[in-house]
Amino acid sequence: MAQFESTTVRLKVSPEIACILKSGTPRDVQLAAARGALPLAGKDLLTVLFFLCSSHDVEIKKAAVKTLRQLPENIIVTVIRDDSLHPQLLNLLTRARMYDVELMAAVIMHPTTDLKTLLNLAQKASHGVLERLARHQDLMRQNPPLVEAIIANPAAEKALKLKLGWQGPDAGVQKKDTAADEGNAANDENEKGDEGRSQVEIESLMEEADQEGLSKYQIALELKVAEKIKMGMTGDKEWRNILMKEANKLIQGAVMKNPKISDGEVLMVAKNKTSSDELIRIILLNKEWMKNYEIKKALVVHPKTPIPKALRFVSSLTLKDLKSLAKSRQVSNIVMSAGRKELEKRLKKQG
């Protein structure tokens, strides 16, 4: 039976959970629980994983951390709807799923989320999560340390920091264009002659992080641009999901060149209206992706798709999608008009 690291957290658990965690429980039962192989409900599963993530048994601990990171979003959303959820369970979620903007937004709104958890988010979360946190103006006014933590977070963009009252080291002095600075970030890395750690070194870092229960998102915070590009081109789905949210276009482009990327992931990029011109160009140049009807349909209505390309795809749409396109206000008048003409043409053929 695995022993657990010392903790003062006290949670009221069901008899079923107590049976899994109590002294004398066979190790294989706890390992199965850590892998999510036992029939446990959402809150019970999260509670079991909470304790098993602090197990002294390395295999059980790693299995619990992995299961927590891979739990389907619908299960976690259901759990978060419970207003009586213990603050430590919410804290655990922030440490394991900090890269998930929507889940973190739900954690921020939860009535039992404590200041410690919010501070952890303010210090380490991505810009998307920081924006969600900063929206709660009363929370910002009542807790100045949160504002300070967001401003100090390297992921916080300049516009957000200014909204929170940051003046910067060069207040009143004309500054260089922010976009140009960001665009030169990767070049700066190369000019310094620092290509970052090798793939083997990064994998070693990940192994150490697994031992400490860190998430890949937390590892990503420590990686340099060159290292993120390497991970983007070789990493698994979780890495691709994290790195695609990076503002640096070189990193996003590296993710798109990853041979393991699926059509579903490409479709998400094509559906995202904020995807850059470069990402859309990469998709358009890939003949295999362009055989996927859903991707092609998404590109027709994407604002960054060149109009000649969008017009070329209109004729391949189904009648149902043509009807939607013909009355859509989310596309240019040229594309909408082309949709109407193609629709009229199809309807005439049908008699």
**pLDDT tens sequence across 31-60:** 998 998 888 878 888 888 888 888 888 899
Torsion of CA 65, 251, 261, 34, to 10 degrees: 0
Whether 89 is covered by a domain: the verdict is: no
Q: What is the pLDDT of residues 296-349, one digit of tens each?
A: 999 999 999 999 999 999 999 999 999 999 988 888 899 999 999 999 998 888
Quote the percentage of the chain above a pLDDT of 90. Answer: 34
Single pTM value for the model = 0.50
Considering the domain boundaries, does residue 231 fall inside one?
A: no
Residue 290 banded pLDDT, cuts 50, 70, 90: very high
Contacts 24+ apart (CB under 8 A), 147-151: 149/119, 149/122, 149/123, 150/122
- Does residue 79 form part of some domain? no
Which value, in Å, is the radius of gyration of the alpha carbons in the chain? 24
> What's the CA angle centered on 69, arms 255 and 20, to 5 degrees?
160
Residue with tokens 């990503």: 220
Say which residue the tokens 């990064």 belong to.
202
The average pLDDT across 87-94 equals 88
Classify residue 59: in a domain, yes or no: yes
Site of tokens 């959402």: 42
Higher pLDDT pick, 229 / 13: 229
Cα 2 from Cα 15, distance rounded (Å): 18
Compare 295 and 62 and report the one with higher pLDDT.
295
Range of the domain at 33: 1-71
Number of domains in the chain: 1
**Among the listed residues 295, 242, 302, 308, the one whose alpha carbon sits nearest the alpha carbon of residue 277:** 302
Do residues 63 and 34 lie in contact, with contact meaning Cβ atoms separated by under 8 Å?
yes
Residue 285, pLDDT score: 94
* Residue 116 belongs to a domain: no
Tell me whether residue 124 is in a domain: no
pLDDT digits (tens, 9 = 90+) for 127-151: 889 999 999 988 898 889 999 999 9
Task: List Cβ neighbours of 78 (8 Å cut-off, separation of 6 or more).
Answer: 42
Q: How far apart (Å, rounded) are the C-alpha atoms in residues 214 and 96?
A: 7
Residue 169 maps to a domain: no
Question: Would residue 31 count as lying in a domain?
Answer: yes
208 pLDDT more than 60 = no
The kind and range of the H/E element at 49 are: helix 42-52
